[in-house]
Amino acid sequence: MTQPIPFMKMHGLGNDFVVIDARAGHAVDARLAIAMADRHRGIGFDQLAEIADSDAGDLHLTFWNSDGSTSAACGNATRCIAAWHMALSGQDTVTITTDRGTLRAERSSDGVSVNMGAPLLDWADIPLAHDTDTLHLPIAGDPVATGMGNPHCSFFVDDVSAIDLAARGAETEHHPLFPQRTNVQFAQVVGTDHLRMRVWERGAGVTLASGSSSCAVAVAAARRGLTGRSVRIDLDGGTLMVDWRADGVWMTGPTAHVFDGVWHG
């Protein structure tokens, strides 16, 4: 049995997380992430967020997927932890460093907003396996590639409810054009600034929501001329607002701190 590890359980629109404060001496590794992720024998989560000290911000976050792999970005977890930190500190803003870069979050009338940084649009930065047009990938369905610190492949379809998300998502995640695998989104245009989206997350599978995926789809839709740069995105778990500004892609939505517990695995 391992040493007991305190944790927090949070979610953003049902996109759920375990949060461990490594500043208390409880470091995370792939084995621990996989054990905690088990929804029958562990706690269950889409991602695990590990908090550490930061020389350039209020705190540093490392993100673990449920399969034990890591990701440089996780927008909903970033918003949830920002809300927790601001509640403890009394601050209205928080600066968070990640492998994606330094992110700024702030209180909003609609929850918490976070600047996820500028999107990566060049094939080598996303990354893709070779030089290709990121706005029209050579994949059936004509998807768009976007980097938000993690790779994304966005399909625009007439009806997201008609998509076999598990089958299409799993197949696309491992497409050879994406050497680091990819998150997969299927989105339909509801209105000029309104999208409906479903998500398959790299290393996690079908999720009710995804912050970085929402940012990627908003950028892809704007680049395609399907929407403006500020959009409402309805996911299976709820609604996020995404605004692609000059200083980065801002995402706003609700957060939930569900419970605190201790892992005895």
**At 187, phi and psi to the nearest 5?**
-130, 145
How far, in Å, CA of 245 to CA of 117, rounded?
10
Which of 133, 121, 140 is closest to 220 using CA atoms? 121
Cis peptide before 127 (omega within 30 of 0): yes
**Domain architecture of the chain: domains with CATH:** 5-116+253-263 (3.10.310.10), 144-246 (3.10.310.10)
pLDDT interval class at 265 (50, 70, 90): confident
Mean pLDDT of 23-52: 96
pLDDT digits (tens, 9 = 90+) for 183-239: 999 999 999 999 999 999 999 999 999 999 999 999 999 999 999 999 999 999 999
pTM to 2 decimals?
0.94
Q: Report whether pLDDT(1) > 60.
A: no
Please give the annotated binding residues for substrate, written as ranges.
15, 47, 65, 75-76, 150, 183, 201-202, 211-212
pLDDT at 3: 85
DSSP state of 118: P
Mean pLDDT of 124-144: 98
pLDDT digits (tens, 9 = 90+) for 223-239: 999 999 999 999 999 99
Which residues are part of the catalytic machinery?
74
Q: Report whether pLDDT(2) > 70.
A: no
